[in-house]
Amino acid sequence: MNINLDNETVLYTTAILLQAGILAFFLIRSRKKKQKQATAMPPADEDSYEYNRNASLQVQPQHLGLTMQPSVTRVYGVVMDWDMGGTTLTLCGYITGATNAFLSSGSAIKGVGANPAIAEQASDFVQTAQGYLGKCMPVSDTGLPLPGTVRFYLLTNKGIFAAQEQLSMIEDNTSPWLGLFFKGTMLLDEIKKSPTAAS
C-alpha cells in the first residue's frame, strides 16, 4: 500500500511534533528545577522569568559589542513569545549567536550561544527576521502574547518592532510568519540537543 503525503501535510505534521517536543522538553526541565528548589533557598529576583524576559528585551547593540550605522534600520535580536496553552515560552536570539530561552513556569536556559551550532541557528533566526521588519510596527509596550498566539519582538538600532500571529494560521500553513516561526523552532531544536540544556 502506497501513501503519498504532500508537502503541506509533512510541514503541518512536523510543526505539531516540534511543538509537542519543545513543550515536553521545557516542562520536564521546569519540573526538575522546582524539585531542586524545594530544598534550596527561594530564587532571587534575577532568576525570575519576568526579570530574564525584560532583560532580553532591553539588550542594546553595545551590549553585544556591535556598532551599527544609524542610516539603516537593522535587526540585531529577536524575542519570540510563544503561548503554549497557559505557559509562555520566550526564545531570545541575537545576531552574535547569543541565545537564551525561558519558560514562564520557571525553566531557563542561558548562555548556550557558546555552542557553534546554536550560535549559527540564532544568527540565522535574526537574519531572517530582517526580511520581516516591514510587517512590524514600532512598539513601546512589550507585553506577553494573547492566548493562542505567538508574538515576535524585533530589536533594532531604531527601537523595538513587533507583530503577533495566530498559532492556528501557523499550524495550517497560511501565515506569512511561517518562515520566521520555523527558524525559531529550529533554534529551539538545536538548544534541546545541547548538553548544557539537558542538565
For the record, the C-alpha cell of 82 comes out as: 510563544
Kindly report which listed range (15-24, 49-58, 87-96, 176-185) carries the lowest average pLDDT score.
Answer: 15-24
CB proximity list for 126: less than 8 A, separation 6 or greater = 75, 76, 77, 78, 93, 94, 95
Q: How far apart are CA 49 and CA 71, in angstroms?
A: 35
End-to-end CA distance of the chain: 43
Q: Output the pLDDT for position 2.
A: 47
Confidence bin at 111 (pLDDT 50/70/90): confident
Q: Which of 186, 150, 188 is nearest to 171 (CA)?
A: 150
Q: Scan for cell 548562555, then name that residue.
A: 111
pLDDT tens profile 26-70: 555 555 554 444 444 444 467 899 999 999 999 999 999 999 988
Among 93, 114, 72, 115, CA closest to 184:
93
List phi, psi (to 5°) of 16: -65, -45
| Confidence (pLDDT) at 193 | 86
- pLDDT reading at 23 higher than 80: no
Residue 192, SS3 per DSSP: helix
pLDDT at 8 over 70: no
CA distance 160 to 78: 10
Mean pLDDT in residue range 152-170: 97
